[in-house]
Amino acid sequence: MMITRKLFLLFLFAFITASGYCQLQTPRQLYPGLFEAIQLSDIFPDNKTFVDAVVRREPTDIIKDYNNQKDKAGFDLKKFVADNFIAPGSKTDIFKSDVSAGIRKHIDTLWKVLYRKHDTVSRYSSLIPLPNDFIVPGGRFREIYYWDSYFTMLGLQESHKADVIKNIINNFAYMIDKFGFIPNGNRTYYLTRSQPPFFAMMIDLLAKDDGEKTLVKYQPELLKEYAFWMRGSEKLKPGEDFRNSVRLDDGEILNRYWDESDLPREESYKKDVDAAKETTQKPGDFFRNIRAAAESGWDFSTRWMDTTGNLSTIQTTSIIPVDLNCLLYHLEVTIAQSYKLQGNISKQQFYLGKASTRKNAIQKYCWSDKESWFMDYNFKLKHTTTFHTLAGVYPLEFKLATDKQAVKVGDELKTKFLKPGGLVTTFQRSGQQWDSPNAWAPLQYMAIDGLNNYNQTGLAQSVAQSWIGTNMRVFESTGKLMEKYNVVDTDIKAGGGEYPLQDGFGWTNGVLLNLINKYHMDNL
């Protein structure tokens, strides 16, 4: 009997995963010595280029030849790299848009440009094979990303691409089952950290099409993700922390960002090594703080720094982020709902109790009457952090704020955060990309949706109009949708950060299409 192509590919994927073909060593582990030499050189301006490269032959042979040749006269490292590796390209670099066809046509075409087949992983690639096709953000981001994908899905749902949404969710469920968590992205060098836990939000999105049974179907993975974030928390005494969990002095457990590694990031190796020279922290502590900020998705922002706002003072692992804990509150509520659908009332009440305790703790430690804003909390210093950030809108998105608090948050958004092009991320101009004057699609969406939850519909629409207008102006002048935007000086491109401005761009496309449809603003 003939085997269908789909069945064959499933067998092939299972074989590849079980065999040595899909090894999970990182580039640094595969190419000791050579990796450091390449990343500290100027062969590739972007360190991510080499770690995403495709190898031409066996790594053991490459390392043997490198060690034999490196100290000889006339050795050319750049030529050696070119002879042994194929540098990755970007499909969005070669994609040319037809502005006259309109924004909807552009986004619809981009879904195809950003689409990746799951069964095309090269041997010894840092790319982790997945069982289903997926969407990448674009530009230098050639793999699936965790929290990006939720906001991309908002547009995929508007485009009636339910199958693509299911494929992405099933990829994440696969990684939870395989690794115990969803990595930052499907690269071996991301296997030490996750990203903001939006998996439950993705399940909610799918449930709009497939019904509440979706929560029960993915309950095992929801529980595993929760276990990842709460590892070791039950053994903590007041004032202690372990991995992603912190038990505060009064006994409450809240969460922080954390990375299992205390080495320089492989994809930003030189920048991390150079930055460590400017800090008074121990190198391992500094690198873990840098990595924890990468897990947050806000890499980088004065949000994670002391009052000077200098990267050398980064202290991510000392900070309890308000947005992370709102997401985990939602995860607890979602798990409770999945048990309710099964008729398991005792388990439902158990997780509702967890959620209620977390909600009270968020109110206690993160709300500031003085600032009229939800702030992050530095549990080492035992006070809220200094800087206002747009993460403060998350309690509105998850309905954790009181009505009075929501009014105050709305006033702050209107008078301080709202700029000509949308909501600015922070008030600090630090040169970091998650600070002023930059703005990002996911935060605009969370703010708009949160305001609507508290019937502040006029302000929500004003934010949406400003953001859509910014996207449309840049599209009409460049034919592109960008990763981030300058919303203060709207005639200037966004900047800052570790790499040039990227276009594509998955979550920008998703949020823009969602808002255009919601507010019928095609022609701003």
In the structure, what pLDDT confidence band is assigned to residue 3 with cuts at 50, 70 and 90? very low
**Exposure on the CB side of residue 339, measured as CA atoms within 13 A:** 16
* 71-104 residue pLDDT tens: 999 999 999 999 999 999 866 555 677 898 999 9
pTM, two decimals, is 0.94
Instruction: With residue 453 as reference, give the H or E element that holds it.
Output: helix 441-453
Residue ranges per structural domain of the chain: 27-86
Instruction: Read off the tokens for 453.
Output: 């939850």
| CA distances for 150 relative to 153, 206, 239, 348, 436, angstroms | 5, 11, 34, 25, 24
Block residue for tokens 């050319």: 76
Determine the longest span between alpha carbons in the chain, in angstroms. 74
Mind spelling out the 3-state secondary structure of 231-293? CCHHHCCCCCEECCEEECCCCCEEECCCCCCCCCCHHHHHHHHHHHCCCCCCHHHHHHHHHHH
CA quadruple 35, 41, 42, 46: dihedral, nearest 10: 40
The amino acid at residue 468 is: I
| CA distances for 481 relative to 164, 293, 456, 518, 520, angstroms | 21, 25, 28, 19, 19
Q: Where are the alpha helices (DSSP H) in 71-218?
A: 77-84, 91-94, 103-113, 146-158, 162-179, 199-210, 213-217
Would you please indicate which residues are annotated as catalytic (active-site) residues? 299, 483
Please spell the DSSP secondary structure of 467-491, one letter per residue: HHHHHHHHHHHHS--BS-EESSSTT
Give the model's pLDDT for residue 19: 36
* 151-204 residue pLDDT tens: 999 999 999 999 999 999 999 999 999 999 999 999 999 999 999 999 999 999
* 20-55 residue pLDDT tens: 334 589 999 999 999 999 999 989 999 999 999 999
